Structure 1
Amino acid sequence: MSNQLEGKTVAILATDGVEQIELTRPREELESAGAKVELISIKSGSIDGYNHLDRADSFDVDKTVRQAAVEDYDGLVLPGGVANPDAMRLDRDAVALVARFVEEGKPVAAICHAPWLLVEADVVRGKTLTSFPSLQTDINNAGGHWVDRELCHEGGLITSRKPDDLDAFCSRLVEALAAES
Structure 2
Amino acid sequence: MEVKYKKEVYTLGKRDRKLESEAPAVRVKMIDEQTKVIGMMAPKVQVMITLPCIKSYNNGLHNIINEYASKTIVYIITKSSDDNLTKVKSAYSLDDGFISNDFKDFSLKFGINMSEELFAKSIFVIDKEGIIKYKQIPSNIDKSFDLEEFKEKLSQTVNFKQKGHIHENWMGV
- TM-score normalised by the chain length of structure 1: 0.38
- Greater helix share, 1 or 2? 1
Rg larger for: 2
- TM-score normalised by the chain length of structure 2: 0.40
